[in-house]
Amino acid sequence: MQRSLRWIGIGLLSTTLSSCGVLRSQLGLNSAQPDKAPPVVSDSPRAAPLQPGDNVIVKAVDRVGPAVVRIDVVKEINNPLGRMFGLGPATQRQQGQGSGFITRSNGLIFTNEHVVRGADKVAVTLPDGRSFTGKVLGGDNLTDVAVVKVVAEELPVATLGDSNNLRPGEWAIAIGNPFGLNNTVTAGIISAVGRTQANNGGGQRVPYIQTDAAVNPGNSGGPLINAAGQVIGMNTFIRAAPGGGLSFAIPINSAKRIAQQIVSTGQASHPYLGVRLRDLTPQLAREINATNPQCKVPEANGVLVVDVEADSPAAAADIRQCDLIRQVNGDKVRNPSEVQIAVDQGQVGEPMQVTLEREGQDVIVEVLPIEIPRNG
């Protein structure tokens, strides 16, 4: 049917064109008029072509790009089948790749902890082709920050900015080595800041920067920079979706704080209170009040204490089950992740003020946090 309709259309078009030709001839409108100028269809004034101006993205990349490195890692993985039954070698080599950026000219490099986790060999390659053997000074799996050191002098350095005052809509430029394509630049904007529930995993202690700049495997550990050529974040993970995805970066102020601890002591320090928390909603509050006569909570949104570990700092400070945490050191908190981030801003062994709501009354307690247990 479609083919027949096409032929019918062509026949009608031929007939119509023939009729139009006769009519134009009768009216003296034949198209062969070489002595006449073409009709005017635009009266816009002529203008000189626009001259290319300074491109802020190019300038920012020129400033930071030389300090962005590729990190290649090799891990030796035990092969139990090979050891027990002779099926292949006893160990197998696993290779990985990520990015990083130099922060000191003597070879100090920031990257993601998951990039160098369990690495037996680390190779660092600069954009100018120079390659060095890297040593992992330490890494923190709670924030995904690691520090690598190479033996070198007078290396190019990336300038660190300030991530405390970022605003959605600002330029966000990512540099890294996605899929092994070295020195790849992508650009977008900061979509949001302070994303406290961006990661599906538990124990979040980072207020992530969300951006629409394209980030892919291999970008991990690379810098997110602003239009001034300053590092404002460290690209760490993506949330993929059909037709697109979201990218998240660790604010550089958080990464710098953790890196300073790693360089000083070999590991990061995280304060620990000893409470288990849950998001409270009006619906959940009604269910709790209807089924648990010993726990009465307001039908509102908040952060509910569902359990207090025995002999923990929280227990010593008289934080109780069914309390609502409203503030930590004067900062309002709205969900468990915000509580963790606020606690992480404190120091182990230094008093921390926590404002609670208990049976409709505000209660202020002082907690003395300890180091988080390393066994989880």
User: Cα dist. 303→194, 284, 291 in Å?
Assistant: 18, 12, 19
Active site residue 114: yes
Cα maximum dimension of the chain: 106
Q: Which residue has the tokens 């409709």?
A: 360
Q: What angle do CA 68, 62, 253 make, to 5 degrees?
A: 55
Catalytic residue among 163, 220, 312, 337: 220
CA 238/CA 226 separation, integer angstroms:
19
Closest by CA to 169, choosing from 219, 214, 227, is: 227
CA 239/CA 35 separation, integer angstroms:
65
Catalytic residue among 114, 191, 212, 318: 114
- Residue 63: phi and psi, rounded to 5, are -75, -40
CA 28/CA 275 separation, integer angstroms:
94
Buried b (16+ CB within 10 A) or exposed e, 3-20: eeeeeeeeeeeeeeeeee
CB 252 within 8 Å of CB 267 = no
Closest by CA to 176, choosing from 111, 132, 118, 88, is: 111
Active site residue 344: no
Amino acid at 205: R
Catalytic residue among 72, 144, 323, 344: 144
Active site residue 270: no
| Active-site annotation, residues | 114, 144, 220
